[in-house]
Amino acid sequence: MNLERVSNEEKLQLCRKYYLGGFLALPFLWLVNVVWFFRAAFLAPPFGEQPRIKSYVLRSALGAALWGLGLGVWVGLFQSRRGQWGALGDALSFTQPMGEP
């Protein structure tokens, strides 16, 4: 979809849908929202819907960053401490490595 061919009201509706979609355990939509609407929110000449699009883009960026940070912390903890968790670590693992942790 070419956003230059879409009306400003439709841009706002689409941006809002992607923002709300991120709350449905689809935080990748927040990242798509930021990339797709950054130009309309911050680089385009001012238009009526721009402040709301800008707020959705900023909140999407914050949500994607927090989700990414949380995922990174989880991966780091899991990889460094899985062996100490015993049966829980094994249950959470897709594959069980052989040998001593």
- Please state, in angstroms and rounded to a whole number, the distance separating the CA atoms of residues 67 and 39: 23
13 belongs to a structural domain: yes
Least confident stretch, 2-6, 44-48, 85-89, 97-101: 97-101
Q: Does residue 59 lie within any of the structural domains?
A: yes
Provide the domain count of the chain: 1
Give yes or no for a contact between 29 and 17, defined as CB atoms under 8 angstroms apart: no
Residue 42, both tokens: 């911050």
Q: Which two tokens stand for residue 5?
A: 């061919």
Higher pLDDT, 100 or 79: 79
Q: Would residue 101 count as lying in a domain? A: no
Q: pLDDT tens digits, residue range 3-27?
A: 889 999 999 999 999 999 999 978 9
Average pLDDT, the chain: 92
Show the domain range for 67: 3-92
